[in-house]
């Protein structure tokens, strides 16, 4: 499944797909940050996403987030997949309980990238049992 996501548009796509981000961080002008994908993902989206995982109180929104992450994972634009790995997956696989909660929602490509991030950081033991195989 190829994705049409490209790096230069990723910030605006994120804010269009998740208006909840704008409401949650209403004091910040996220549209002004949209061209700066890393700050937008690392400062806002990551905390929004991790909060959803920790509370697990909005299954529909969690599903939308993981669909978006899988779309990012399938992007032909290496900058998009690097952004996903650096801003979201690396901090996710670093935390055992959180990555194990997230695993059941992940698509196959997202899981593959998460495994790669876990191996590169030496955190493969944080993955769910039986999932540490990088292949």
CA distances from 48 to 28, 42, 54, 62 (A): 14, 10, 10, 10
Q: How many CB atoms lie within 10 A of CB 42?
A: 16
Q: Over the stretch 9-61, which tens digit does the pLDDT of each residue have? A: 998 899 889 988 876 665 455 555 545 789 889 988 999 999 999 998 899 99
CA distances from 127 to 8, 43, 53, 105, 130 (A): 31, 24, 15, 14, 8
Rg of the chain (C-alpha set): 14
Q: Is 58 left (phi over 0), alpha (psi -120 to 50) or beta?
A: beta
The pTM is what?
Answer: 0.88
**pLDDT confidence bin for 98, thresholds 50/70/90:** very high
Stronger pLDDT, 37 or 102, i.e. the higher one: 102
């Amino acid at each position: 499944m190829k994705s049409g996501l490209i790096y230069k548009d990723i910030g605006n796509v994120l804010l269009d797909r998740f208006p909840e981000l704008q409401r949650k961080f209403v004091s910040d002008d996220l549209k002004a940050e949209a061209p700066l994908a890393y700050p937008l993902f690392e400062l806002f989206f990551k905390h929004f996403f991790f909060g959803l995982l920790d509370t697990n109180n909005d299954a529909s929104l969690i599903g939308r987030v993981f669909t978006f992450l899988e779309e990012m994972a399938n992007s032909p634009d290496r900058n998009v997949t690097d952004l996903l790995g650096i801003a979201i997956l690396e901090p996710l696989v670093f935390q055992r309980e959180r990555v194990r909660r997230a695993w059941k929602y992940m698509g196959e490509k997202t899981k593959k990238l998460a495994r790669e991030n876990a191996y590169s950081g030496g955190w493969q033991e944080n993955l769910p049992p039986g999932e540490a195989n990088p292949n």
